[in-house]
Structure 1
Amino acid sequence: MIDILMATYNGESYVENQILSLIGQTHKEWKLLIHDDGSTDATVQIIKKYQKLDFRIHLLEDNIKCGGAANNFLHLLKHSSAEYIIFCDQDDIWMESKLNVLFSKIKNTTEPVAVYCNAYSYDGVKITANKVSLIKRDKLENSLFLNSGVQGCSLMFNKLLLDKLIDYPAYVYMHDHYITIGAISFGKLLYIEESLMLYRQHNNNVTGNVPVSILDRLKTFIKRGNPIIDQKHYDANKSFFDKFYEQFNQRQVSVFKAYIAFPNSNFFQKIFSILKNDFRIGNSTIILIIKTLLKKTIR
């Protein structure tokens, strides 16, 4: 059984198509658990319509307002009981094989694990890119400086990982970032190259539109206002380290401490730290060094 966790808020324009794409999944053993964050449009009415049509759809009505998508997803995690869990955004569309492909990758794993896939970028009319994610990650050294987690809507993980993480740190910035760092710290983070959903780009995206063209990615990279480290992700990484310090091995402790010390280091100390700790942006040390040369450290 897979728990699909959907956080909704004023999604009347999109949520019906997403629910229909879930009903059409080739893997049928799932439960959709939805928590709405105080929608003022027809989102809840649409959900209740489909709740009557499919017994696998459940709306959690507890009158709790979470105040944002990240807290809404974390709230839903507290109500999940299945052996496998996947996040679901209200505004995407899943390919019919998505659940089956992700589940097949981790179903026989006996350790904490997460798996993520790629996605097509979709503007509501046409596909604008074949892959949203271009940078792979699988360890702290190539993840901490990415200022993100893998896309939450692409991420499936097992209960063994959730059990490790269900007691949250003092500060979590985004749900997907939290699960990503948890997977690479306490288990495995696997990747499937295939694009298994339409990732909708629109003005109301919670995390903003993702740059998908090479030109847009280059513009984002060279923009001087973008720091090496985003303050909110830095605070979340530090909070994660403080929470789980005693569970890390010696190498992980060393890597986290070097990352935490990075903003207060001088230029030569930063370069030394990058090389010593094998810090990378994905698989590239050079890109991180270039960013260190060109950009502010943190903001």
Structure 2
Amino acid sequence: MISVCMATYNGEKHIESQLRSILSQLSAGDEVVVSDGGSSDRTLDIITAFNDDRIKTFILKESGSAVANSVFSKMDNIKRNFENALVQARGEIVFLADQDDVWHPNKVERMLELLEKSDCVVHDCAVMNGEKVIYPSFLDFFKPGRTKLRMFVKSPFMGCCMAFNRNVLESALPFPDIHIEHDTWIGICAYKVGSVHIADEVLMNYYRHGQNASPIAENRTNSLSIKLLRRWYMLIAYLKY
């Protein structure tokens, strides 16, 4: 069974196309677990209109705005929203999904093949601005770390490109009470309990705009202090939890 876990917040512009790209690749016994962080637009109406039993929707109680004032408060809100979906997941294989991307038709099939040899897989994506391709390969552009040590320099874990097995999921829950991205935390857990594979295969279109949950490199803050704090929290998470 596959569980696709998605966090939503005011995603009415993109959620329909993303869900269609996901559902077309799932079997009748799979599920899409949606956690909504308090949308005030038509996001939930659009999801409900699918009338698809595979979609399970949960509301995050006492959530803060996903458009929070500080880098870390926004990160923590997104992390709680994804955790609310992940704790409901029943599948042996878990995919993370943002509300505003489009999966390529072969994504699920190819990731399942790669997960036969690894506990966690991160694939490549094309970065889009509307219909224009900005970067044909995110990995070529960003050049993330591909080893356990180098992940502390440039983390390769972008949630919308990740899938992992239940062993990784169970090791990651509950999320620690520390300022760390949900995808980075899951990646750290994957390294601690199993193996990680970075696949140079473009399996998704990432659409760049202001509310993405998994920001590309240039959307992340350039503040040196924030960068250092991120690495510090990563190290604490790896050593303490």
The partner residue of 1:82 within 64, 77, 91 is: 91
Kept in 2, the 8 Å contact 1:145–1:229? The answer is: no
| C-alpha deviation, 1:229, in angstroms | 4.4
**Higher RCO (C-alpha 8 Å, min separation 6):** 2
Give the alignment of 1:51-200 within 5 angstroms.
52=51, 54-61=52-59, 63-65=61-63, 68-107=77-116, 113-134=119-140, 135-146=143-154, 148-200=155-207
Max radius of gyration: which structure? 1
5+ residue gaps, structure 2, are: 66-76
Higher strand share: 2
- Stretches of 4+ moved more than 2 A in 1? 26-30, 61-68, 134-140, 167-170, 203-212, 225-230
Q: Could you say if the C-alpha distance between residues 98 and 171 of structure 1 is closer, same or farther in structure 2, counting changes exceeding 3 Å?
A: same
Task: State the AA in 2 paired with 1:38.
Answer: G
What TM-score, normalized to structure 1?
Answer: 0.69
Give the alignment of 1:268-287 within 5 angstroms.
none
Deviations 1:127-184 (A, max 9, x none): 22211123254432111122x3511011000001112221433314211110111112
Q: What SS does the aligned partner of 1:191 have?
A: strand
Aligned to 2:72: none
Identity of aligned residues (%): 25
Q: Could you say if the C-alpha distance between residues 97 and 169 of structure 1 is closer, same or farther in structure 2, counting changes exceeding 3 Å?
A: same
| C-alpha deviation, 1:191, in angstroms | 2.0
**CA–CA distance in structure 2, aligned partners of residues 24 and 98 of structure 1:** 11
What TM-score, normalized to structure 2?
Answer: 0.84
5+ residue gaps, structure 1, are: 213-219, 244-299
Aligned to 1:2: 2
Aligned length: 227
**CA–CA distance in structure 1, aligned partners of residues 199 and 44 of structure 2:** 33
| C-alpha deviation, 1:13, in angstroms | 0.5
Aligned to 2:41: 41
Alpha-carbon RMSD across the aligned residues, in angstroms, is 2.5
